[in-house]
A and B are shown apart, each in its own frame.
Chain A
């Protein structure tokens, strides 16, 4: 079945620095790659997603890159702020099955 590996499990950066979280997946049929942010005690919420027909997508301070050949994708957050502190989850899905599988999560701490 589909397997998603996410690294690192924890990440601590100074305010203003960049943060990068990486995910790899196993199913080559995967074609949808969302990223979710979960604040403490809250539900996960989508922050950005990318489909397999593009290699990069940017939305203000966040961007996602996708390498389908290598089966990995990454989340980039620039100019980090304390309110970026949360747990971030990558996920993969394919049109074949619609199943949505998540990585293990990365706890990001942005120090003021």
Chain B
């Protein structure tokens, strides 16, 4: 596609339910990042995939959070047993293989846990 695409755009879920957020990176981009942005806050790093290497999971806030990247393309961020503090915008970004190039963001998924 032309850019990074995320789905759904908005998700409202009940506390305790599991949710899956999807990211379609730009075709050919080997690096993929997930960030969390709480209301009025910064971009909190969650996880980073680079090609076939083991992902850097150092930013995941708890074991309720996990992410996969299948076939080096689409990624899914899963949050199990959602809590109200998980409410935020989840942003995905991708970039090419060179680390010193522009990362492009998706429009984000706004997650609301009620």
Which A residues contact B (CB, under 8 angstroms)?
A: 1, 31-32, 34, 43-46, 49, 51, 89, 93-105
Total interface residues on B, using CB and 8 Å? 24
Q: How far is the CB of B88 from chain A (nearest CB, A)?
A: 14
- The one of B31, B41, B99, B106 in contact with A32, judged by C-beta atoms closer than 8 angstroms, is B99
Residues of A within 8 A of B50 (CB): 98
Given contacts A97-B56, A98-B31, contact A43 B48 (CB under 8 A): no
- Looking at chain B's contact residues, is the secondary structure mostly helix, strand, loop, or mixed? loop
In angstroms, Cα B99 to Cα A99, docked, is 8
Contact B105 A98 (CB under 8 A): no
In angstroms, Cα B100 to Cα A26, docked, is 18
Residues of B within 8 A of A99 (CB): 45, 48, 56
- The one of B45, B99, B106 in contact with A102, judged by C-beta atoms closer than 8 angstroms, is B45
Contact A95 B99 (CB under 8 A): yes
What are 29 sample pairs from A and B whose C-beta atoms fall under 8 A apart?
A32-B100, A32-B101, A34-B102, A43-B106, A43-B107, A43-B108, A44-B91, A44-B105, A46-B102, A46-B103, A51-B100, A89-B43, A93-B99, A94-B99, A95-B98, A95-B100, A97-B99, A98-B50, A99-B45, A99-B48, A99-B56, A100-B33, A100-B48, A100-B103, A102-B45, A103-B42, A104-B41, A104-B42, A105-B41
B35 at the interface (CB under 8 A from A): yes
Residues of A within 8 A of B41 (CB): 104-105
Looking across the interface, which residue of chain A has its beta carbon closest to that of B35? A102
In angstroms, Cα B73 to Cα A84, docked, is 34
Q: How far is the CB of B54 from chain A (nearest CB, A)?
A: 12
